[in-house]
Structure 1
């Protein structure tokens, strides 16, 4: 019985949220739907942890759906990289489920709460499917599941602008998905296969055809739109700003990271690093765009007055760090990307949780609205400061480890101008995080405003859990770096 359970874990981690979503609709009660979401996310986290250990000890896992062996059947595949991303997605879903209860009561109409949790479970399922599938077409299917549910979740935001934001995201997301599907279609046209490993084995014979090159271009553009790489980022600021707080927490910590993972999987596993970064100028283009994203995103964040919008623009800059790392096409660079995928997921999750807690109390989130709250909401304010210091890259935090590893990677190849761009972007982060800190602690509260209390305990506990994880990753980074290094070595050698 136990052995059978372990062999079915790759399928279970996707099936559980897929089955739990209609249960939320069936029971039609917000409190019960939240409990289903909570139990499902923690069950998936437990399975993801077991899968991570299994991959670390025994190597990659291949699971044939329905017993049909790949490449004819659909394959679920876990290796070092996908097991790390799977752990991040399930972990963030588990913590955000604790946070969601009080947040949803405040922001979502009671009669629609069960639909909210059903949407969260579908988004969760889609992200898990993208991470674990070994089939290119099913990656697109799961991407659309996560995207379609995200549109509905964002539209549930408390402000009217949420509907427009969801519509903008829908238009841009549809374009990105279409580009990705066209690229996959071109690969199928030339190889006759949809299994990623099988495509990779057949691709060298036809790699220099116009069809394959066009397929690569479509996939890079489509995935870049999904991960919000400059200049395809225009949907992200409004989506993060006007979504319900729980949605902002979850998608900021996971959705763009999974999209980055999907792009890395295509570039390194399917096409191969030698072809993409050696024979084609993809690496140089991505590096240039990542630098522009880092600097423009950080500059835009400085001038925002809405805290959530500021964090959204910051995410665009941080995506630049991640893309820069793997675009170097070195073990050190890919290691830095994987480390920052995890660390930034935890950092941004904590920041959006703290921002959501401030919104829960004040029903507003502009820098002027939160003036003086450092004295009234000490735990929430301190959590924002601690996570903000990590985003800046202060030592003993996860953000410092990310930037240190990335700096080592760029200096390894004497890219001093990239190191300078990283340092300038970090100084800009000090400015925009400093504006929030200054408002929280050094401005006087408006005289007409009643003295607010702290956010609910569940929101504080979830936020501080991520803050403590930030510190833990900063003080004891060796396990994550070692896991990322193993994954990077395997990824770079996928077609060697």
Structure 2
């Protein structure tokens, strides 16, 4: 029964997307999309419960056995990623009920939600497939739909941001595809498990090294690993709020998942250790943490601030991977989950500001937090999670990451994490100071204590989405067993323990 559920994660959004595109009614298209997201989330939870103890669930498409046919092979890692993606889709869907009509032409509701479902389909497909070419196909489905989603923003900058993302995303996809082609030429197979099993028979071929370099570059660009991150700030900053929430919490995380698959399942660890990849990733991760944090501190607009913060948070994940220990990998995988919650919550808060004040510039929002205390409190708590204050999900990740670095006497890594955290305090404080302490005016429009001229109060659906994220930041910061056990199981499986 569980085997059949895996394919439903792809089939359901695949069938519902073209149906959704037919309709123009926002309520109907929104309801279809939210229902699809909830069903996918429930299925992901069932699958994760099945494989969390080390089991595998395998589904062979069309009854064709691998390596000839396409195989979906589910373990604790991709089930964990599928749960993150579908969970964020649910929260984004709840938020979009009021946000999407205010930021997107209502005549495009069907197309918008159809693209959203296709993006969900692509990201889930990437997580599930055991075929590297099929992975590329799903990668392109998610990317193409992402370009369309970003471009639907009403601001002119959304089009330029989408175009820049398209150009760089296409370059990354091309590199990845060239690498897959070279690897197929060397191995004669596209099945990840089959290639890994027979790797010793062709590992001395020059094509294998070339394929690895191309694949790694393509993934690094898609994952926005420093210095290949230039597409990310504008893409997240100018996209409609619902899109910023969904992509910031899922797109780069799924690309990191692909990186984990390539480094630990496709190529042997010893192979890329000889190429000094761990040292390279460690340097890029440390520099990315500091660079992203400094650039976030320099921003004067909240969505771009959060986007540059994502560059730093990706750096933390890369550091955990590069340390090549159980503790480090556990921290990296755990941060895929924790950062998704944190960043989704913060972008939801930014989306509420866009809905109410039509701006996320700090200079336009001075004193605005005083008239929206609950929204401000939830955002501030998510900001504390980003810093890594004890009792929040961000602290859990940094604790294990510091422990892993200290175990190996990587004091430069410790320094980078500390510097990144200090700058996180600085840029989170910029938001707090602007919204609450730096009061410019107190606004009362028609007895409404919040909002600016002709701007309504936030809806209950927005508040629900925000507080779901804020409560998750607290709950999983205090009760860490569920995400930690899942992440630790993934780390052990990747290391072959």
Displacement after TM superposition at 1:26 (Å)? 2.0
Give the match for residue 466 of structure 1: 469
User: 2:343 matched to 1:357?
Assistant: no
User: 2:417 matched to 1:422?
Assistant: yes
Match of 2:280 among 279, 285, 302: 285
Matching of residues 153-172 of structure 1 within 5 Å: 153-172=149-168
User: 2:439 matched to 1:436?
Assistant: no
Displacement after TM superposition at 1:158 (Å)? 2.2
Give the match for residue 314 of structure 2: 319
User: 2:481 matched to 1:483?
Assistant: no
In the alignment, is the contact (CA less than 8 A) between 1:374 and 1:440 conserved in 2? yes
* Secondary structure in 2 matching 1:490: helix
Gaps of at least 5 residues in structure 1 are none
CA distance in 1, matches of 2:485, 2:47: 17
Q: When the two structures are aligned, how many residues end up with a matched partner?
A: 489
CA gap 1:445/1:113 in 2 versus in 1, 3 angstroms: farther
Displacement after TM superposition at 1:208 (Å)? 2.8
CA distance in 2, matches of 1:483, 1:7: 20
User: 2:21 matched to 1:18?
Assistant: no
Give the match for residue 103 of structure 2: 107
Give the match for residue 90 of structure 2: 94
CA gap 1:58/1:488 in 2 versus in 1, 3 angstroms: closer
CA distance in 1, matches of 2:391, 2:426: 20
CA distance in 1, matches of 2:56, 2:272: 24
User: 2:27 matched to 1:31?
Assistant: yes
* Secondary structure in 1 matching 2:226: coil
CA distance in 1, matches of 2:205, 2:474: 49
* Secondary structure in 2 matching 1:230: coil
What per-residue deviation string (whole Å, max 9, x for no partner) do you get for residues 190-245 of structure 1? 11000000011121222232110111100110000000011110000000000000
Give the match for residue 9 of structure 1: 5
CA distance in 1, matches of 2:238, 2:15: 28
In the alignment, is the contact (CA less than 8 A) between 1:159 and 1:242 conserved in 2? yes
CA distance in 2, matches of 1:47, 1:190: 37
CA distance in 2, matches of 1:384, 1:283: 35
Gaps of at least 5 residues in structure 2 are 452-456
Match of 2:340 among 332, 345, 362: 345
In the alignment, is the contact (CA less than 8 A) between 1:335 and 1:481 conserved in 2? yes
Displacement after TM superposition at 1:400 (Å)? 0.3
Match of 1:145 among 141, 145, 153: 141
In the alignment, is the contact (CA less than 8 A) between 2:236 and 2:303 conserved in 1? yes
Displacement after TM superposition at 1:492 (Å)? 1.4
Matching of residues 253-264 of structure 1 within 5 Å: 253-264=249-260
What per-residue deviation string (whole Å, max 9, x for no partner) do you get for residues 363-409 of structure 1? 01111111111211112111110100000000000000010011111
* Secondary structure in 2 matching 1:62: strand
In the alignment, is the contact (CA less than 8 A) between 1:14 and 1:125 conserved in 2? yes
Once the two structures are overlaid, the 10-residue window that deviates more, 451-460 or 16-25, is 451-460
Give the match for residue 181 of structure 1: 177
CA distance in 1, matches of 2:200, 2:224: 30
Displacement after TM superposition at 1:447 (Å)? 6.6
The two structures, once aligned, show a CA RMSD in angstroms of 1.2
Give the match for residue 454 of structure 2: none
Q: TM-score, normalised by structure 1?
A: 0.97
In the alignment, is the contact (CA less than 8 A) between 1:380 and 1:455 conserved in 2? no
Give the match for residue 376 of structure 1: 371
In the alignment, is the contact (CA less than 8 A) between 2:245 and 2:343 conserved in 1? yes
CA distance in 2, matches of 1:376, 1:35: 31
* Secondary structure in 2 matching 1:76: strand
CA distance in 2, matches of 1:169, 1:350: 23
Displacement after TM superposition at 1:78 (Å)? 0.8
What per-residue deviation string (whole Å, max 9, x for no partner) do you get for residues 8-42 of structure 1? 10100111111111011123322111110000000
CA distance in 2, matches of 1:367, 1:396: 28
Give the match for residue 396 of structure 1: 391
Q: TM-score, normalised by structure 2?
A: 0.97
